[in-house]
Structure 1
């Protein structure tokens, strides 16, 4: 459990620093937006490239990957059911129209996109004993879930019909998707970047997590208090799917496909991780579901501590 507490402690300190900087007037909403854009367009792509270029693809493309995909699909489907129900309710009550496309995409990310980077890596290393165990869920997210979500968000903010060719080409224009694909290509070909490029990219990638967490802390100080910015039902649906439904789905599918006990424990614990901070960055970039993303991250991060501890006690 030391790795779990260390990971959460690091996150808490950086969020608190962002809150303090906003409280002292050092950073305002404009500063938060700048940090978010920096993380989205520059630092996060650099981080994804450096992480994925060293991935062991033989271990990534395993049964763990199948289970991770199934768990993400289960929670995404659960969110879809909630969105449809909310839209149907909105037809009866025009004052509660339900989520639009952009808000629905962010809600899906809140319920299924795990914090595989700054929490998943230390927990995989210190709790599970192997940092590489986080690679399958990380790959699912950055190469499938994230590009799909970004393409849909691009459509949502376009405000007009978008052709199939435009939709298909959007991932090729997104820095996060481009960097992820480049990292996988490097891992496959084993062609290393020259030091003059690799070192600066690694340095820039080091800004990603601090920038995300500082921006998040600023939002907590300057925005509505967590739990007051979005309807309670919407928040708790996303959090419940993330913290409870996703690890349960991972466990059941892992048991069904015959994962060994160590792998079953790993996929269950990693699926119980909270909503990732970059969901807030993505929501901020597209200005859709920002408060839901912020609050879901906050609540799921708190609830993940007993969720991970429970999984460790039951399966470890």
Structure 2
């Protein structure tokens, strides 16, 4: 449990610093948007590039990839269907909500828990890969095709087939992940002059996302009546911290016959809260920011007792 406490303490401190920076306006009024764009366009692509090059692909492509990735996708689809039928949400909000309900905080909380609680960082790598190369591109392509360009105000593009091919090639996060995977697969290690800058920029991704999250909380009331989409947030939060761990337990236990520490690890990873990356994406496309922010905060708080119960029952 000390690893869980340590991981959450890191998150709360970084978010708190971001909140204080926003309250004091040290970084100016546009700090949140500028920092979010820095994380989206520079730091996260560098993190993915460096991480995948230095990863063991034989560990990544395992049953954990099927269980974690498949369960995340299933929960996201459940959110989209329910929110479309119940809330009549539009496509961009469905994309953000689908991510909020199932996109795991696999880096800034997942890695500390994998190391300190599960004693093996490789448990988080398959899900990280799935989110980088499959889940994020699916959502980002959807957003690219349906959201009006915030800079020009132009209407969504209409050539779906062409844009479905072009969008991943122009998205920096997807480009960074694919480039790292390809280089890792061919077995080439770039020189230190390339890897070190990527590592330095990548190291700034997690704190940058957490600071941006803290900045976004300045001057707003979480779950505020009349402003916050409460039903959408409640739906995404319940799916993330309750339904997703339960689904992973069922799939891993009876679908793949896993028991013991392996089963415990799968369920703990599924119970991790919504990643701050979802807020970065929402801010980038200017759709669903409040839902992404509130869901990330609520699931972060709720995941503490949930992971504690899982540890008590399965550890």
Shared topology, TM-score over 0.5? yes
Which stretches of structure 1, 4 residues or longer, exceed 4 Å deviation after superposition?
Answer: none
Out of 210, 213, 218, the position equivalent to 2:215 is 218
- Rounded to whole Å, the distance in 1 between the matches of 2:309 and 2:229 is 28
CA contact (8 A) 2:272 2:303 kept: yes
- Rounded to whole Å, the distance in 2 between the matches of 1:174 and 1:289 is 19
Question: Deviation string for 1:190-227 (max 9, x for gaps)?
Answer: 211111111111111111111111111111013x2111
Distance 1:294 1:29, change over 3 A: farther
Question: Deviation string for 1:103-136 (max 9, x for gaps)?
Answer: 1100000001000011111100110010111011
5 Å-filtered alignment, 1:128-277, equals 128-158=118-148, 159-222=156-219, 224-228=220-224, 229-255=227-253, 256-277=255-276
- Rounded to whole Å, the distance in 1 between the matches of 2:223 and 2:121 is 33
Out of 80, 95, 116, the position equivalent to 1:126 is 116
Alpha-carbon offset, residue 313 of structure 1: 1.1
- Rounded to whole Å, the distance in 1 between the matches of 2:28 and 2:9 is 25
Question: Deviation string for 1:232-284 (max 9, x for gaps)?
Answer: 22111000000011111111000122124222111110000000011100000
CA contact (8 A) 1:29 1:218 kept: no
| Deviates most, 75-84 or 173-182 | 75-84
SS in 1 for 2:217: helix
SS in 2 for 1:50: helix
Alpha-carbon offset, residue 25 of structure 1: 1.7
Per the alignment, residue 287 of structure 1 pairs with 286
SS in 2 for 1:142: helix
5 Å-filtered alignment, 1:45-64, equals 45-64=45-64
- Rounded to whole Å, the distance in 1 between the matches of 2:235 and 2:301 is 16
1:110 aligns with 2:100: yes
Alpha-carbon offset, residue 51 of structure 1: 1.5
- Rounded to whole Å, the distance in 1 between the matches of 2:196 and 2:108 is 20
Alpha-carbon offset, residue 70 of structure 1: 2.3
Q: Which runs of 5+ in 1 are unaligned?
A: 88-97
- Rounded to whole Å, the distance in 2 between the matches of 1:28 and 1:11 is 23
- Rounded to whole Å, the distance in 2 between the matches of 1:308 and 1:51 is 26
Question: Deviation string for 1:58-94 (max 9, x for gaps)?
Answer: 121111111112211221122022222235xxxxxxx
Per the alignment, residue 313 of structure 1 pairs with 312
When normalised by structure 1's length, the TM-score is 0.93
RMSD: 1.3
- Rounded to whole Å, the distance in 2 between the matches of 1:243 and 1:162 is 37
Question: Deviation string for 1:117-171 (max 9, x for gaps)?
Answer: 1111110011001011101111110010000100000011142423302112211
Per the alignment, residue 99 of structure 1 pairs with 89
CA contact (8 A) 2:73 2:135 kept: no
Q: Which runs of 5+ in 2 are unaligned?
A: 149-155
- Rounded to whole Å, the distance in 2 between the matches of 1:105 and 1:122 is 28
- Rounded to whole Å, the distance in 2 between the matches of 1:190 and 1:284 is 36
CA contact (8 A) 1:29 1:219 kept: no
